[in-house]
């Protein structure tokens, strides 16, 4: 298959970093198509740890083209800082290996300020749990047609006009929240200062990718967050500000949907969620604590402790459908080692009725209680397993039951953070 989309199939933190890195070795181009620098990917290569937020995972592999698509919102100061950090780790980054779509909207300091002020002002229960990095407000400005976009940095008159348009909207909002007015000159000076650094990477990404596609190059589309945080299909309003599901890969870079050959969902062997919002299979007992500790479930960006629960097959079946997954990468199976009994949420009970999907209405979501199926656990370690023969029979049964319940086959199975500790069933790039 020429082009593969990778999408998180839960609430993010499924271990996309490792799988994207694994796949990026087989790809010619790696493209980000949504989100901002709230995504925290951790890559471990030869024992060296790379933490990426805005940069596509391909940058740490030589000889690949990494692309930031127009579906992303870009904080240019953060990006340039991240480039410096990664360079300091010995990775070469130049316009030959990194391209930014000219029509990418920028995240400005005013977006982060607005994001944080709103979260502070929100009362308990209405906080979204954002990372405070301005991503939501930047997407609002994109839809409101008042973004400063990458291409605008090239022309002083356009840049000033775009900034003025944004300020017209933001100043009254800031007054209402008690934030001081924006210093226009300071903002413009900051933008002028980063313009050459960013413009060096600017390109008509849609054109480049269509040419690559015609030339038979393999494109890997790297999703961020997870499908349950999708602005349309997630647990609204506790969601991210962009579409996360696979369809976004096409609009987020400018290729046709028919150019996507394979969609790979990344699925963790249990469930986690950061911040507020419904989570029917959440565990607030010792088992939840144990999953969090064994899985090191703390946010890479925020350091926040993640909420943990058993595997929720209802949710993953749903995200496999909305993204049209062809297969999944099942990760962190090793975290389940040593549990005597495992539970899988197979349906919900809503007011005495069995429901096979998550209802949309918030009050119904809140009333859904999980219906569990129990399976025997295993005492042997699966950590580092590289073939089915290395797995205990109970672990294989667990994986097979998950495939059945979510109606999607396992293409890859991950058993440790190391990229070699992966069992390959189907190579998404294979013809």
Residues serving a catalytic function are 13, 41, 142
CB of 197 to ligand GDP, least distance (A): 26
Phi then psi for 330, rounded to 5 degrees? Answer: -95, 120
Q: Which stretch binds ligand GDP (CB under 6 A): 232-240, 356-364, 398-406, 410-418?
A: 410-418
Under a CB-based contact definition with an 8 Å cutoff, are residues 358 and 368 in contact? yes
Strands (E), 40-84: 41-45, 48-52, 65-68
37 binding ligand GDP? (CB under 6 A): no
User: In what helix (H) or strand (E) does residue 250 lie, and over which residues does it extend?
Assistant: helix 248-251
Query: In angstroms, rounded to a whole number, what is the distance separating the alpha carbons of residues 194 and 200?
Result: 10
In the DSSP assignment, the letter for residue 106 is: B
Please give the residues from 369 up to 408 whose contact with ligand GDP meets the rule CB under 6 A. Answer: none
User: In what helix (H) or strand (E) does residue 291 lie, and over which residues does it extend?
Assistant: helix 286-294
Among 15, 69, 105, 292, which residue interacts with ligand GDP (rule: CB under 6 A)? Answer: 15
At residue 200, the 3 state secondary structure works out as coil
16 binding ligand GDP? (CB under 6 A): yes
104 binding ligand GDP? (CB under 6 A): no
14 binding ligand GDP? (CB under 6 A): yes
Among 32, 37, 41, 218, which residue interacts with ligand GDP (rule: CB under 6 A)? Answer: 41
> Which residue in 31, 1, 4 sits closest to 252, CA to CA?
31
At residue 239, the 3 state secondary structure works out as coil
18 binding ligand GDP? (CB under 6 A): yes
417 binding ligand GDP? (CB under 6 A): yes
Query: In angstroms, rounded to a whole number, what is the distance separating the alpha carbons of residues 85 and 81?
Result: 6
Under a CB-based contact definition with an 8 Å cutoff, are residues 285 and 230 in contact? no
Residue nearest to ligand GDP (CB): 17
Choice between 202 and 266, CB closer to ligand GDP: 266
Which residue ranges are tagged as binding site for GTP?
Answer: 12-18, 40-42, 306, 332-334, 414-416
Beta-bridge mates of residue 307 = 273
Among 4, 17, 55, 110, which residue interacts with ligand GDP (rule: CB under 6 A)? Answer: 17
Among 10, 24, 42, 104, which residue interacts with ligand GDP (rule: CB under 6 A)? Answer: 42
Rounded alpha-carbon distances, angstroms, from residue 256 to 209, 215, 248, 388: 11, 16, 11, 37
The CB-side HSE value for 157 (13 A sphere, CA atoms) comes to 0
> Which residue in 312, 313, 308, 316 sits closest to 283, CA to CA?
308
CB of 330 to ligand GDP, least distance (A): 9
Classify the phi-psi angles of 175: left when phi > 0, otherwise alpha if psi is within -120 to 50, otherwise beta: alpha
CB of 187 to ligand GDP, least distance (A): 31
Under a CB-based contact definition with an 8 Å cutoff, are residues 233 and 322 in contact? yes
Number of residues that bind ligand GDP (CB under 6 A): 21
Among 158, 300, 364, 426, which residue interacts with ligand GDP (rule: CB under 6 A)? Answer: 300
Which residue ranges are tagged as binding site?
Answer: 12-18, 38-42, 131, 145, 225, 240, 300-306, 332-334, 414-416
Q: Which stretch binds ligand GDP (CB under 6 A): 13-21, 233-241, 257-265, 271-279?
A: 13-21
CB of 104 to ligand GDP, least distance (A): 21
Among 3, 34, 382, 415, which residue interacts with ligand GDP (rule: CB under 6 A)? Answer: 415
Please give the residues from 315 up to 374 whose contact with ligand GDP meets the rule CB under 6 A. Answer: 331-332, 334-335
CB of 174 to ligand GDP, least distance (A): 32
Rounded alpha-carbon distances, angstroms, from residue 282 to 211, 251, 259, 345, 351: 46, 34, 38, 10, 18
Choice between 44 and 187, CB closer to ligand GDP: 44
277 binding ligand GDP? (CB under 6 A): no
Give the footprint of ligand GDP on this chain (CB under 6 A).
Answer: 8, 12-18, 40-42, 44, 300, 331-332, 334-335, 414-417
């Amino acid at each position: 298959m020429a082009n593969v989309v990778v999408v998180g199939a839960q609430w993010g933190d499924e271990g996309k970093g490792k799988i994207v890195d694994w796949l990026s070795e087989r790809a010619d181009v790696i493209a980000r198509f949504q989100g901002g620098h709230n995504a925290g990917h951790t890559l471990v290569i030869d024992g060296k740890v790379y933490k990426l937020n805005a940069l596509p995972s391909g940058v740490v592999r030589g000889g690949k083209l990494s692309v930031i698509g127009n579906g992303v919102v870009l904080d240019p100061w953060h990006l340039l800082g991240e480039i410096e950090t990664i360079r300091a780790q010995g990775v070469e980054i130049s316009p030959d290996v990194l391209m930014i779509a000219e029509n990418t909207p920028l995240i400005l300091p005013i977006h982060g300020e607005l994001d944080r002020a709103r979260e502070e002002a929100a009362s308990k229960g209405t906080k979204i749990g954002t990372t405070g990095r301005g991503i939501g407000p930047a997407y609002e400005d994109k839809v409101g047609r008042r973004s400063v976009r990458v291409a605008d940095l090239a022309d002083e008159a356009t840049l000033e006009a775009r900034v003025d348009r944004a300020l017209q909207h933001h100043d009254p909002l800031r007054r209402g929240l008690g934030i001081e007015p924006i210093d226009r000159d300071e903002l413009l000076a900051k933008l002028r200062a980063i313009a050459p650094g960013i413009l060096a990477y600017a390109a008509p990404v849609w054109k480049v990718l269509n040419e690559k596609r015609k030339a038979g190059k393999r494109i890997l589309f790297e999703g961020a967050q997870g499908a349950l945080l999708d602005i349309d299909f997630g647990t609204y309003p506790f969601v991210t500000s962009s579409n996360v599901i696979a369809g976004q890969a096409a609009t987020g870079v400018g290729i046709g949907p028919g150019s996507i050959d394979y969609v790979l969902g990344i699925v963790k062997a249990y469930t986690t969620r950061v911040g507020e919002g419904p989570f029917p299979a959440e565990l607030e007992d010792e088992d939840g604590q144990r999953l969090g500790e064994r899985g090191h479930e703390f946010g890479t960006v925020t350091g926040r402790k993640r909420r943990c629960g058993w595997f929720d097959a209802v949710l993953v079946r749903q995200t496999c459908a909305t993204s049209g997954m062809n297969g999944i990468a099942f990760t962190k199976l090793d975290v389940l080692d040593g549990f005597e009994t495992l539970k899988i949420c197979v349906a919900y009970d809503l007011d005495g009725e069995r429901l096979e999907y998550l209802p949309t209405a918030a009050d119904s979501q809140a009333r859904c209680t999980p219906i569990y199926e129990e399976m025997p656990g295993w005492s042997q370690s699966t950590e580092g397993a590289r073939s089915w023969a290395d797995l205990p029979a109970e672990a294989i049964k667990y994986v097979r039951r998950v495939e059945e319940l979510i109606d999607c086959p396992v293409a890859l199975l991950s058993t440790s953070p190391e990229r070699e500790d992966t069992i390959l069933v189907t190579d998404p790039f294979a013809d």
